[in-house]
Amino acid sequence: MGRTIAKIVGVAGYVPEYRLTNAELETMVDTNDEWIRTRTGIVERRILKDKTKASSDMGAEAVKQLLKKTGTAPDEVDLLICATATPDMLFPDTANVIRDKVGITSGFGFEISAACSGFLYALTTGARFVEGGLKKVIVVGADKMSSIVDYTDRSTCIIFGDAAAAVMLEPTDDGLGIIDSVLESDGSGRHLLYQKAGGSLHPATHETVENKEHFIYQEGRAVFKYAINGMVGSIKQVLERNGLSKEDIHWLVPHQANKRIIDGVANMFDFPKEKVMVNIQKYGNTTTATIPLCLWEWEDKLHKGDNLILTAFGGGFTWGATFLKWGY
């Protein structure tokens, strides 16, 4: 019997029905299918077209599936953490909106904002609460990225999609679960990938709307370099701290930011392609949802005891890696 750690006991996901294909983007902005595929690896992305729906609605759908899948009653949930870069509102908290929509009235919830690294930050936080005594913790990644994308900007509109996915954490002492995490951040990169207006520094005005300052802005080349270096560095730390080599890893689960970034990280460790989860071609970059979406899609290929490395990089900058042993 070992120390109590948090184990993933279930995973669920939700993607909107509407597929925004590269062919359709060709009619909206100066781009083409070959250019998008070559630079990002993306073929299509899902978009939540209903303007009355938000990140919480996708998150709620994923959580409903998760509760059903794990046989969990809403009032059994001690904590729900939502990682998101596109909250429904600045307040109330999106996590609590999701809780209300799925009928969770017990325990508490809160939101974590760390851009594309948000799910890793939330997963590590949830694990600590489980280690501290909570029995059932849900971690959700949900983002309606289409709400902050400028569809006249070909450098960003080709990349992002909408989705949500969630995992259930429970305590275990069998050695399977979330073993270690390295989380890092560097605020000096905040002007290379960000949304300028909408916060307390630049509240919404006619001018901020006219100047399109409520959309994503990024300097792609700089972000590309920082992303690879950040994820590679955190993976190295996790491997070294746990006495692991690349041969010990069954699956690399990278944030789905860009196929070239994914390939760059995998190549640095010479991870075989068949060990790297990639679904960016179908969903694009769904920000906080990418990693749990991969776990959801690959669930039937995972085996109890498999060693997984999750890694992400996001605006701010934020980045990290998590080592876990699959629990079921």
Catalytic residues: 116, 255, 285
- Give the helix ranges, DSSP H, for 110-249: 118-131, 154-157, 206-210, 220-241
Q: How many CB atoms lie within 10 A of CB 75?
A: 10
Angle between helices 220-241 and 259-269 (to 10 degrees): 30
Radius of gyration of the chain from Cα atoms? Answer: 19
Q: Which of 242, 243, 257, 250 is nearest to 311 (CA)?
A: 257
Contact 84/147 with Cβ under 8 angstroms? no
For 54, 98, 111, 140, 289, the CA distances from 164, given in Å and listed in that order, are 11, 12, 14, 7, 5
Alpha carbon distance 66, 52 (integer Å): 24
Q: Which of 98, 136, 138 is nearest to 119 (CA)?
A: 138
Sign of the four-CA dihedral 112, 115, 121, 126: positive
Sheet containing 251-254, strands listed edge to edge, beginning at the edge strand earlier in sequence: 178-185, 318-325, 307-314, 251-254
Phi-psi region of 100 (alpha: psi -120 to 50; beta: other; left: phi over 0): alpha
For 46, 174, 176, 198, 297, the CA distances from 325, given in Å and listed in that order, are 30, 10, 5, 40, 17
Q: Which of 257, 252, 71 is nearest to 156 (CA)?
A: 257
SS3 assignment, position 51:
coil
Contact 137/81 with Cβ under 8 angstroms? yes
Alpha carbon distance 160, 46 (integer Å): 9
